[in-house]
Structure 1
Amino acid sequence: MHDIFVLYNKPQDQEAFDRYYASTHVGLVGELPLLKEFTWGKVVGDEHDCYLVARLTYASKPDADASLASEAGRASVADLANFAHAGATVMNVPRIGES
């Protein structure tokens, strides 16, 4: 399995970010081909610059790469400019151990 984690920095307007993310961006991510699972949640506490973490799970890194290269993948990535004004960090994480 292969995960992509997206760590979104704390936005200035958290309500607008939340509204857009839930009403628009989540739907775009849901259209990604080969996506096995998509989960997201807000970071608890104010001691972090990170506001929200999303996890996209794929069977493999090649599947993740193909998904993001697809039309839906390009649209999802391009959509970041519409709401992630504070920035985001994307991490590719191959799973090593699973139980």
Structure 2
Amino acid sequence: MYTIVAIHRAPKDPQAFDEYYENVHIPIVRRFPGVSAIRYGHVGDSTGTDAYLICNVEFPDKAAFDIAAASSVMTEALEDLPKFVTGQLDLHYVETVDHLATGAAA
């Protein structure tokens, strides 16, 4: 699997960020060709980090990611970032390996 990991730092206006993220940005990301899953959540206060929200955008493999990366939808998503990101954003591209816990369903 190949994953984009986006770590959003605290925005100036969390409510405006959340509304835009859910209603505008995520619908763009859902249109990436080949995307298999989008998982995101707010970081708890007890973690000792300034991260606000972490999002994983998953693809079956690097080839599928490469197709999405070259798409007009990826360009649209990247051009959308300055419209709502007011804190620092770290983007990481990760080749991931899944290990299921003992007894977990595949």
TM-score (norm 1): 0.92
- Aligned residue for 2:62? 61
Q: CA deviation at 1:77?
A: 1.1
Identify if the C-alpha distance between structure 1 residues 45 and 67 changes in structure 2 by more than 3 Å, giving closer, same or farther: same
- Shifted more, 61-70 versus 74-83: the winner is 61-70
Residue 60 of structure 1: how far off its partner (Å):
1.2
The 5-angstrom pairing of residues 62-77 of structure 1 reads: 62-77=63-78
Amino acid aligned to 1:27: P
Match of 1:37 in 2: 37
3-state SS, counterpart of residue 65 of structure 1: helix
Question: Which residue is equivalent to 2:6?
Answer: 6
DSSP 3-state at the match of 2:81:
helix
Q: Which has the larger radius of gyration?
A: 2
CA deviation after TM superposition for structure 1 residue 97, in Å: 4.5
Deviation, 1:87, is 2.2
Residue type of the partner of 2:9?
N
Q: Specify every segment of 5 or more residues in structure 2 that has no aligned partner in the other structure, as ranges.
A: 101-106
Equivalents in 2 of 1:76, 1:32: separation in Å? 9
| Structure 1 unmatched ranges of 5 or more | none
For residues 9 and 43 of structure 2, what CA distance do their matches in structure 1 show? Answer: 10
SS of the residue aligned with 2:92? strand
Structure 1 residue 12, shift from structure 2 partner: 1.2
* Percent sequence identity over aligned pairs: 25
CA distance in 2, matches of 1:36, 1:64: 10
CA RMSD, 1 decimal? 1.3
In the TM superposition, what whole-angstrom CA distance separates every residue of 1:34-53 from its partner, at most 9, and x where no partner exists? 10111111101063211000
Partner of 2:104: none
Q: Which residue pairs with 2:103 in the alignment?
A: none
